[in-house]
């Protein structure tokens, strides 16, 4: 029955297949742009349509090769065949529309498509040729393998090209459609080799003639060679980044590509973003249209960098950029604004839901874990959305989207937030603080106060901690809690930190001129961790004010140290090399601090206030402090208790052997002159009586700051 086949029907089948594949590109693109609520309905409709197409192609192929099948038809089996065809459509459409295409998912869906393809054929055969054939095992396995290969190829192709909107998109689609159609035809030829006919005398006979086999090989060869050719020539060109880049070419007028693209992620950079934003705003003004600006910030990206290193951080950014790029629609635009910040411009936002759909897709894009260099990394992102022109002009729009993004972070991250009246108010407040902080830096409204540390046993002065204060023109003296976070957020913290360091060195130098050997503790901020030149910078400032290394100790909060372990260790070795001492501030808040301490080369730990407040009241708190002090001593570390507020606490801490004490009980933080006065008084008392007196600290209560 395979002795003849109709080449004209085969050609028609090839053309019909190519047409169906071409139409499938449209289905995939439509699904890609669909909002989540419409997605499943559309998926069902499109799967049915693809199923119908495949059914028709198979029907034609059956006709082309097997004329004698056409005598009787079983509608039941035809229906089953149609069901399997729909299943092929579903697996290809759904998988191609996923945000990521991990290998296992590709293989599973390829298998589903291949086996369903085999199912179509088997049920077609049953429908047309009941009991006149038997299924041969080896050819079946071969046919299924070819079918799976074609399934995988079509999934990859649709996945790659779903958002491809370049100038040659129709030719590219047509080309791939023909390729997949050849694949389908070869699959069908391979299927035909799976049936052996059972003749009237009950003996099996080889049903294939040599021209048929030649034809199968020719088709498979053409298919394999064309596929290999495409993979080699187009692979690089078809990754989603490039796809979107083709889009952007028309919208950015930057001549040098380096000026407009971020070299790491290949997304447009801030320059290009600003240009595009201006053009898009002009377009909106002209047409009376709206657009949305979405500020996207990765949550917890820094710990990734710190834990796995910058190389992994970079690779993660590249993958994140790819996923974001796939998550947006063709009418949208995405750029990397710097660091872990991305900005999307969403066009065609006639309905609120269309923004929500895209923004949600952006958030979902990073939900699936990343596998980078053997590490499984889970992150999320927070998105702030502002709408042009509703939420203000371009400048205001950026601030608004940024403020909305911060609100999303504040609300618990991994979510989006639209700019609204509440944020407007908070954002105005932040803008006010920003301006005031800038003024404060320029007008030098900052000042340092110093809180003495005392040696527990002898009451001798052990130095002081430098604490930053802002002499606000209308609000008076402000402690860091009111402004450090804002300073970090607006990027002023480096300037403030540098000022603190210089001022501390100046004070040590001044103390020296006043006959005082002063050693100061300086708090380091989170940002300073990342500054590779930190130690060099510290050394240069120390040199200017002739401060010896033993007069400075740098406090790093335990929380920052634990969240940035790798960076912290690197930093510690640099400090050690420069003979600079490091103290772990607010120690004891994390359960694993004790074991962690073993591996660190620090000089001091500062027990958190929460321990101090309990030592006089609870035996358990005292026991913990006792244990920590013993362990720290075993590791050769000095232990300082901060937040000492009463005589009872002082006495309790004394029993533990804690080396130094600091707290309101002795003195609140005071300006430099008052600190010097305390030292003079202590020294005078000492030269007179041979001992230091706590009352010399206490007496100075009158000088203490009111904050
Ligand atoms: P910290 O380094 O743990 O500083 C100790 C804080 O406890 C200071 O708060 C101090 O005034 C307060 N304190 C001292 N004795 C007592 C006491 O007996 N009872 C209580 N309840 N509190 C006491 P302050 O000055 O408000 O500083 C808060 C935090 O701000 C500091 O915590 C430090 O992390 C940060 N900070 C202070 N100065 C700087 C600075 O120059 N640069 C940076 N980056 N951060 C700073
Ligand atoms: Mg401190
Ligand atoms: Mg502290």
**Tokens representing 608?**
């958190």
* Contacts with 383 (C-beta within 8 Å, 6 or more apart), sequence order: 294, 295, 296, 297, 359, 362, 363, 405, 408, 415, 416, 417
Residue having the nearest C-alpha atom to atom 27 of ligand 1? 480
- The rounded distance, in Å, linking the Cα atoms of 247 and 251 is 8
Report the candidate in 570, 568, 606 with the shortest Cα–Cα distance to residue 589. Answer: 606
Q: Which two tokens stand for residue 582?
A: 């490091």
- Pairing verdict, β 476-478 and 461-472: antiparallel
pLDDT score, position 33: 67
23: CB partners within 8 A, 6+ apart: 49, 53
- Cα(664) to centroid(ligand 3), Å: 13
Cα–Cα distance, 605 to 585 (Å, whole number): 6
Nearest-ligand number for the alpha carbon of 525: 1
- The CA distance from 121 to 55, in Å, is 9
Relative to the CA of 500, which ligand 1 atom is closest? 41
Predicted local confidence at residue 69, as pLDDT: 52
pLDDT of residue 244: 40
Kindly give the distance from the C-alpha atom of residue 609 to the centroid of ligand 3, in angstroms, as a whole number: 7
| Separation of alpha carbons 572 and 186, rounded Å | 65
Question: What is the DSSP secondary structure assignment for residue 261, as one 8-state letter?
Answer: B
Task: Kindly give the distance from the C-alpha atom of residue 451 to the centroid of ligand 2, in angstroms, as a whole number.
Answer: 10
CA pair distance 389, 525, nearest whole angstrom? 38
Residues counted in the chain = 707
23, 251, 252, 260, 270 from 255: Cα distances, Å: 37, 12, 9, 8, 15
Shortest-distance Cα residue to atom 46 of ligand 1: 523
DSSP E strands, 86-151: 133-135
Q: Indicate the top mutation candidate among 437, 446, 464, 480 to test ligand 1's pocket, ranked by most ligand atoms within 8 A of CB.
A: 480
195 and 135 Cβ atoms separated by less than 8 Å = yes
Residue 703 CA to residue 390 CA, distance in Å, equals 53
The per-residue pLDDT for 479 is: 95
Instruction: Please give the distance, rounded to the nearest whole angstrom, from the Cα atom of residue 459 to the centre of ligand 3.
Output: 20
Q: Containing H/E element for 298? A: strand 291-299
Q: Is 610 in contact with 649 (CB distance < 8 Å)?
A: no
Hey, which CATH number is domain 267-419, 3.30.70.270, 3.30.450.40, 3.30.9.10, 1.10.10.10? 3.30.70.270
The DSSP-derived string for 462-525 is: EEEEEEEEEEETTTEEE-GGGTHHHHHHTT-HHHHHHHHHHHHHHHHHHHHHTT----EEEEPP
With CA atoms as reference, report the closest residue to 223 among 189, 186, 171, 193: 186
Report how far residue 370's alpha carbon sits from residue 383's, in angstroms, rounded to the nearest whole number: 20
Tell me whether residue 340 is one of the annotated catalytic residues: yes
Binding-site residues, ligand 1, Cβ < 6 A: 451, 467-468, 479-481, 484, 497, 500, 523, 525, 555, 557, 585-586, 609, 642-645, 663-664, 669
Contacts of 34 (CB under 8 A, 6+ apart): 42, 357
Ligand 1 atom closest to residue 497's alpha carbon, by position in its atom list: 42
Continuous segment of H or E residues that includes residue 24: helix 7-33
How many CA atoms does the CB half-sphere of 253 hold within 13 Å? 5
Closest-lying ligand 1 atom to the alpha carbon of residue 557: 34
Testing ligand 1's pocket by substitution, the residue of 463, 471, 479, 523 carrying the most ligand atoms inside 8 A of its CB is: 523
CA 109/CA 146 separation, integer angstroms: 14
Rounded distance, CA 387 to CA 397, Å? 7
- Beta-carbon count within 10 A of 189 CB: 25
User: Backbone phi, then psi, for 380, in 5-degree steps?
Assistant: -145, 180
DSSP at 294: E
| The CATH number of the domain covering residues in 433-693 | 3.20.20.450
**Could you say which of 340, 585, 608, 659 is catalytic?**
340
For the chain, list residues with pLDDT below 70.
1-6, 33-37, 65-72, 99-100, 130-132, 163-167, 197-218, 225, 228-259, 350-353, 591-595, 699-707
Instruction: Please tell me whether residue 659 adopts helix, strand or coil conformation.
Output: coil
Please state the atom number of ligand 1 nearest to the C-alpha of residue 448.
Answer: 41
CA of 323 to the centre of ligand 3 (A): 41
Phi, psi of 635 (to 5 degrees): -95, 10
CA of residue 306 to ligand 1 center, whole Å: 26
Give the closest residue (by CA) to ligand 1 atom 7: 643
Provide the CB-side half-sphere exposure for 644 (13 A, CA): 30
Domain spans in the chain, listed from the N-terminal domain onward: 7-238, 267-419, 433-693
- Identify whether the C-beta of residue 23 lies closer than 8 Å to the C-beta of residue 71: no
Q: Which pLDDT tens digit goes with each residue over 39-71?
A: 788 899 999 999 998 888 888 777 776 655 555
Tokens for 19? 């047409």
CA-based nearest residue to 109, from 120, 97, 121, 127: 97
The 10s digit of each residue's pLDDT in 170-196 is: 888 888 899 888 888 888 888 888 877
Residue 612: nearest ligand to its CA? 1
Sign of CA dihedral 316, 358, 91, 236: negative
Model pLDDT, residue 680: 95
Q: 631 and 590 in contact (C-beta within 8 Å)?
A: no
Strands (E), 231-290: none
Could you tell me the strand order of the sheet in which 380-388 lies?
Answer: 333-338, 341-346, 291-299, 380-388, 416-418
Instruction: Give the ligand at the shortest distance from the Cα of 606.
Output: 3
pLDDT at position 365 is 92
Phi, psi at 571, each rounded to 5°: -60, -40
Q: What is the Cα–Cα distance from 157 to 179, expressed in whole angstroms?
A: 10
- Torsions phi, psi for 387 (to 5 deg): -115, 135
């Amino acid at each position: 029955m395979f002795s003849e086949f109709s080449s004209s029907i085969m050609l028609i089948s090839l053309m019909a297949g190519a047409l169906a594949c071409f139409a499938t590109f449209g289905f995939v693109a439509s699904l890609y742009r669909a909002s989540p609520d419409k997605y499943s309905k559309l998926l069902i409709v499109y799967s049915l349509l693809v199923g119908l197409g495949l059914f028709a192609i198979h029907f034609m192929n059956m006709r082309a090769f097997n004329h004698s099948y056409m005598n009787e038809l079983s509608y039941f089996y035809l229906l089953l065949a149609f069901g399997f065809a729909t299943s092929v459509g579903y697996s290809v459409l759904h998988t191609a529309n996923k945000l990521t295409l991990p290998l296992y998912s590709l293989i599973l869906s390829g298998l589903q498509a291949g086996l369903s393809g085999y199912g179509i054929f088997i049920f077609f055969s049953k429908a047309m040729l009941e009991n006149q054939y038997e299924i041969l095992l080896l050819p079946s396995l071969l046919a299924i393998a070819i079918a799976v290969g074609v399934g995988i190829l079509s999934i990859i192709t649709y996945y790659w090209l779903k958002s491809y909107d370049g100038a040659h998109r129709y030719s590219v689609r047509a080309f791939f459609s023909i390729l997949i159609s050849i694949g389908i035809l070869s699959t069908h030829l391979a299927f035909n080799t799976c049936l052996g006919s059972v003749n009237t005398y009950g003996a099996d006979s080889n049903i294939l003639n040599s021209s048929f086999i030649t034809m199968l090989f020719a088709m498979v060869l053409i298919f394999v060679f064309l596929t290999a050719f495409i993979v080699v020539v187009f692979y690089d060109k078809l990754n989603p980044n490039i796809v979107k880049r083709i889009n952007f070419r028309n919208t950015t007028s930057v001549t040098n590509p380096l000026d407009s693209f971020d070299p790491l992620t290949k997304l447009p950079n801030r320059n290009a973003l600003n240009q595009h934003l201006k053009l898009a705003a002009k377009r909106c003004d002209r047409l009376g249209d709206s657009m949305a600006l979405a500020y996207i910030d990765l949550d917890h990206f820094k710990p990734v960098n710190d834990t796995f290193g910058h190389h992994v951080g970079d690779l993660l950014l590249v993958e994140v950029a790819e996923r974001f790029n796939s998550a947006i629609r063709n009418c949208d635009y995405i750029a990397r604004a710097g660091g872990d910040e991305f900005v999307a411009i969403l066009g065609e936002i006639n309905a609120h839901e269309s923004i929500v759909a895209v923004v949600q897709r952006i958030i979902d894009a990073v939900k699936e874990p990343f596998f980078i260099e053997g590490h499984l990394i889970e992150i999320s992102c927070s998105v702030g959305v502002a709408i042009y022109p509703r939420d203000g002009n371009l400048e205001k729009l950026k601030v608004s989207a940024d403020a909305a993004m911060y609100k999303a972070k504040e609300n618990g991250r991994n979510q989006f937030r639209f700019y609204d009246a509440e944020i407007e108010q908070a954002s105005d407040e932040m803008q006010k603080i920003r301006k005031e902080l800038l003024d404060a830096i320029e007008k030098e409204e900052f000042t340092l106060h110093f809180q003495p540390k005392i040696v527990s046993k002898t009451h001798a002065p052990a130095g002081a901690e430098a604490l930053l204060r802002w002499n606000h023109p209308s609000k008076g003296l402000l402690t860091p809690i009111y402004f450090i976070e804002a300073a970090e957020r607006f990027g002023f913290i480096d300037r403030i930190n540098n000022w603190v360091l210089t001022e501390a060195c100046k004070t040590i130098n001044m103390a020296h001129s006043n006959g005082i050997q002063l050693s100061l503790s300086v708090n380091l901020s989170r940002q300073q961790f990342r500054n590779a030149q930190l130690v060099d910078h510290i050394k240069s400032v120390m040199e200017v004010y002739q401060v010896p290394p033993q007069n400075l100790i740098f406090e790093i909060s335990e929380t920052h140290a634990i969240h940035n372990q790798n960076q912290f260790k690197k930093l510690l070795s640099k400090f050690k090399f420069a003979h600079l001492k490091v103290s772990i501030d607010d120690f004891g808040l994390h359960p694993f601090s004790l074991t962690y301490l073993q591996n660190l080369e620090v000089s001091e730990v500062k027990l958190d206030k929460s321990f101090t407040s309990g030592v006089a009241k609870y035996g358990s708190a005292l026991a913990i402090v006792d244990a920590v002090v013993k362990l720290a001593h075993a590791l050769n570390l000095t232990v300082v208790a901060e937040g000492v507020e009463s005589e009872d606490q002082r006495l309790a801490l004394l029993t533990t052997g804690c080396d130094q004490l600091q707290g309101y009980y002795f003195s609140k933080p005071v300006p430099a002159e008052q600190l010097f006065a305390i030292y003079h008084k202590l020294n005078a008392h000492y030269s007179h009586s041979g001992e230091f007196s706590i009352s010399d600290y206490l007496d100075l209560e009158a000088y203490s700051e009111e904050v």
